[in-house]
Amino acid sequence: MPLIEYVPRQFSPDNKALIRRANEICADYAAQGFDLTLRQLYYQFVSRGWIPNTQRDYKRLGSIISDARLAGVMDWHHIIDRTRHLRGLAHWESPREIVDAIAYQFRTDCWADQPTRPEVWIEKDALAGVIERVCNGLDVPYFSCRGYTSSSELWSAAQRLRGYGMAGQQPVVIHLGDHDPSGLDMTRDIRDRLALFGADVEVRRIALTMEQVEHYAPPPNPAKITDSRASGYIRRFGTSSWELDALDPATLSTLIEEEVSQWRDERLWSAAVERMEQQKALLRMVSRRWDEVQALVGDE
């Protein structure tokens, strides 16, 4: 709980109440294993009717949250930036340490025997961290499209997915995006360009849909009338649009888990997992008896 006072601040009673609510929301999600971006926290406030859904109120919330963290009254771990982070190589203290890690991390491809091969594609890079845990738990690769996917990446994806098809598997792209003029069109664009590049792929849009908008009632935004697709969108859905960020992280995880389970043969999956666990047990045994292994290799 890094509550560190870097800059002393005095908060008004209204701002103190806002910070208290923010801490309660963040603590609740942290207990579930989720952290939040500022935008996700903002939508939690909007969906509860605590602040209006305006850019002005978004900026105001961000300013108060920033001051609260600097003043040591809000945990730095609770709000994260998923688009900027340091990258580098892993390092190890000793061979024993990496063997321990390998024994823990070792995985075989449990999808190899499956009739299908799903991947999860999400419109926004900021939400990749939200779906990371559920996708890793399902051993399903996930990909941030960052809006309309580049031709280079779609061509590479088509070659990968074609490879699955040639191996006798049906490739499936599970897509999540905003419910706005471009967000809806992105699913069509993925489907059409993968087909153009020769990939026979089942493209499934699982969020956001109008049924989900009606069920979960996320806060609306005005449709972007400057979008070239706005007129067709407004004719179908009206003048409101909805962001994927407004869905609860647990809801996003559940949607993905339920969709992937429909494409997985549980009998084949259980058999593959059992084989993998046997191989992991062998690695754990090597790790536990590393001194003997080291002596054996050293003697040679």
Q: Three-state SS for 241? A: strand
Question: Where does residue 81 rank: exposed (0-12), middle (13-18), buried (19+ CB within 10 A)?
Answer: exposed
pLDDT (0 to 100) of residue 1: 63
CA neighbours within 13 Å on the CB side: how many for 177? 27
- What dihedral angle (degrees, nearest 10) is formed by the CA atoms of 59, 65, 71, 73? 160
Record the tokens describing residue 255, joined without a space. 């949607």
Q: What crossing angle do the helices spanning 128-138 and 249-262 adopt, rounded to 10°?
A: 40
- pLDDT tens digit sequence for 256-272: 999 999 999 999 999 99
- pLDDT tens digit sequence for 200-251: 999 999 999 999 999 999 999 887 777 888 999 999 999 999 999 889 899 9
pLDDT band at 129 (very low <50, low <70, confident <90, very high): confident
| Confidence check: pLDDT of 98 > 60 | yes
